[in-house]
Amino acid sequence: MRRTGPGKSHREGTTLIELIWKFPDDTTAEAWFLQARWPEGIKRPHCGSSNSNANSKHHSMPCRCRQGDCRKRFSTKTGAVMACSKLGFQI
């Protein structure tokens, strides 16, 4: 059987070294993830409200919804694949 796809040496993408250079620490990686997830501003994953405070002093849940009945805390990971992970953004 003949393969028509390109070989491993011809594939394009990001190498692990390039990834580590792009995100040298968790703060940089989280800022990129935040911008990629909410390009128009932070929105609460459950209620969809954009009325939120992102400068809360709570360490694990730094964002807080200001919507009348909601007012729940959330983080960049809430509702994402990494929601229950204790790992940082830069793995």
Those residues whose C-beta lies under 8 Å from the C-beta of residue 83, and which sit 6 or more positions away, are 77
pLDDT at 60: 63
Residue 11's pLDDT is what?
61
**Cα–Cα distances in angstroms (integers) from residue 69 to residues 31, 74, 91, in the given order:** 28, 15, 36
Let me know: does 58 contact 72? Beta carbons within 8 Å: no
Distances (CA, A) of 41 to 17, 49, 50, 84: 30, 10, 7, 23
**Positions in the chain short of pLDDT 70:** 1-11, 46, 49, 51-68, 70-72, 91
